[in-house]
Structure 1
């Protein structure tokens, strides 16, 4: 029988409760994740071919929109250029369209100087649930090549830190900064907050941001209504005025002492901070090649 060994003490454990109760809709949503539905917008089809150039030289056959669509599909499905051409041909055949598909050499040539359209950021009036995190970027250059090819000792190279600010409500990156490796996260926070053009109502962050300077900075930028959710250290003690005028940090300390740190993380919403760590750009940043320029800056994706 299941749980036979622990049968005498099963009554001490609460029955597992699941958040999901509408299992039919939940299962259908999981099925829809595997549903492949691809269509091409009529505007994209109308501008699939490049307009005729009045200058001399050869004429482009495909527009930038067509090259962007092909390269985007190849990036989403992680396909090389030849497989991207085959993928696009299959999609066009399944949809029943009569349009030419760029070959892999055209995608390679046009993709180098392709100017992707940049979506302009709209000013928001709704408050932002801001979570900030950073990740390290390794600098690739001649050092590793010399060490592998000629077995020479590579010169010491530092790394860079990519700081990102994510809105938990929309999943949009609202601020970003690239700093040297000796810039700590609290030091880079003022520059990130300068890029946020909307009010902030919640700020969940890890213990590195704990302290009065960070709380004062957030209150000065966004007012006293901002909810700062930062876990205090294990040896944190309440402030002297906690009895008569407790701060938000004093409430966090009291909640942790009364119910435990795990219960406080769940009740305060601190667990949502992990969405910033698991953002796709955080994972992609580790795989991006980078070059170090003479002025010490790092350019991504231009190796």
Structure 2
């Protein structure tokens, strides 16, 4: 049984905690700004809309990577096909009174492959990263369960991609992300996530799928022995032979669970904060969507990176601050 499901039958005995938003006016304004076109189409993007002249032999690109990325961000936010994206950008250029050419849908599709996205500065934060990771499946084709049940159709083979996200608990920013095939396990994708992080990490939280010596060794190699690792051991986990004299972090977790119970360990270790990674997964599916629109794997990777930039931009505009009231 997963740790957050432990003793689930008795959870009705626990009083539900109540919170209130302390910065409602600022947060409310940030929600409005998410629909503001000037947030997504900046003056810098318009100034750099055309591609710079190339100095090497070959064809000259008409649109810069920033222009293509801007169009794809609008497509992601408003969940549009490429042809409707072209129409939206044409109308925006006309309403803004700017004389810029708009990429057609075939250009957007072709340039999506291997697109180099402009680097975005991280949300300013002086504290080390508290990293929590999680993954989810994103659908790419195949009918849903409701369609099969309603019309009694035969189930068809579905295909998925696996989305891995790393969230900084301090800033709320997605600091690393990876898109893999559906048969890639979470520990296997972890090195690709960690290589994207240059800042120091003081704490790492993940679910039991990451439990094991390879994960601990990988984290120590990237962030040093001082990183605090909070991963729940399985129910049948046993202490190592070195635990009496030199207990590992995993041995300490096992001892605390044996002494005080798993629910107490979750609260004392801060493991409950990992639920924010699950909330980020839910935010992705609500804002970006539960499926990928691109056909090829390379284009799907670009589409996923675009989604990360959109979510981080929304976080930068403002997020809710809570305080407990009961």
Which bracket does the TM-score occupy, shorter chain normalised?
Answer: 0.5 to 0.7
Matched with 1:209 is 210
Please list every run of 5 or more consecutive structure 1 residues that lacks an aligned counterpart in the other structure: 1-12, 54-58, 142-153, 292-297
* 8 Å contact kept, 1:166–1:174: yes
How many Å separate the matches in 2 of 1:248 and 1:71? Answer: 44
* 8 Å contact kept, 1:50–1:62: yes
Matched with 1:255 is 256
CA 1:127–1:179 in structure 2 vs 1: closer, same or farther (change >3 Å)?
A: farther
1:231 aligns with 2:242: no
Matched position secondary structure for 2:232: coil
Deviation at 1:27, TM superposition (A): 5.3
How many Å separate the matches in 2 of 1:213 and 1:62? Answer: 44
Matched position secondary structure for 1:89: helix
Matched position secondary structure for 2:202: strand
Which structure is larger by alpha-carbon Rg, 1 or 2?
Answer: 1
Query: For this pair of structures, how many residues does the alignment match?
Result: 260
CA 1:42–1:205 in structure 2 vs 1: closer, same or farther (change >3 Å)?
A: closer
TM-score calculated relative to the size of structure 2? 0.56
TM-score calculated relative to the size of structure 1? 0.59
Deviation at 1:226, TM superposition (A): 1.0
Give per-residue Cα distances to partners, 1:60-115, cap 9 Å, x unaligned: 9987755654443243122444476358636864xxx4235767xx5324323336
Deviation at 1:14, TM superposition (A): 8.8
How many Å separate the matches in 1 of 2:138 and 2:15? Answer: 45
Matched with 2:310 is none
1:98 aligns with 2:97: yes
How many Å separate the matches in 1 of 2:73 and 2:111? Answer: 12
CA 1:233–1:85 in structure 2 vs 1: closer, same or farther (change >3 Å)?
A: same
Deviation at 1:227, TM superposition (A): 0.6
* 8 Å contact kept, 1:85–1:102: no
Matched position secondary structure for 1:236: coil
Matched with 2:117 is 118
Q: Which has the higher helix share?
A: 2
How many Å separate the matches in 2 of 1:63 and 1:219? Answer: 40
* 8 Å contact kept, 2:141–2:158: no
What RMSD over aligned residues (CA atoms) do the two structures have, in Å? 5.0
Matched with 1:176 is 178
Matched position secondary structure for 1:129: strand
Matched with 1:89 is 91
How many Å separate the matches in 2 of 1:215 and 1:50? Answer: 45
How many Å separate the matches in 1 of 2:219 and 2:179? Answer: 18
Matched position secondary structure for 2:111: coil
- Pairs within 5 Å for 1:137-216: 162=162, 164=164, 166-168=166-168, 169-170=170-171, 171-174=173-176, 176=178, 178=180, 181=183, 183-190=184-191, 192-194=193-195, 196-216=197-217
Matched position secondary structure for 1:225: coil
How many Å separate the matches in 1 of 2:53 and 2:198? Answer: 41
How many Å separate the matches in 2 of 1:89 and 1:207? Answer: 49
How many Å separate the matches in 1 of 2:37 and 2:236? Answer: 55
- Pairs within 5 Å for 1:19-58: 19-20=19-20, 22=22, 25-26=23-24, 28-30=26-28, 32-35=30-33, 36-39=35-38, 40-46=41-47
* 8 Å contact kept, 1:89–1:101: no
Matched position secondary structure for 2:107: helix
Matched position secondary structure for 1:99: coil
* 8 Å contact kept, 2:211–2:231: yes
> Which structure would you say has the larger RCO, counting Cα contacts within 8 Å and 6 or more residues apart?
2
Matched with 1:269 is 270
1:222 aligns with 2:215: no
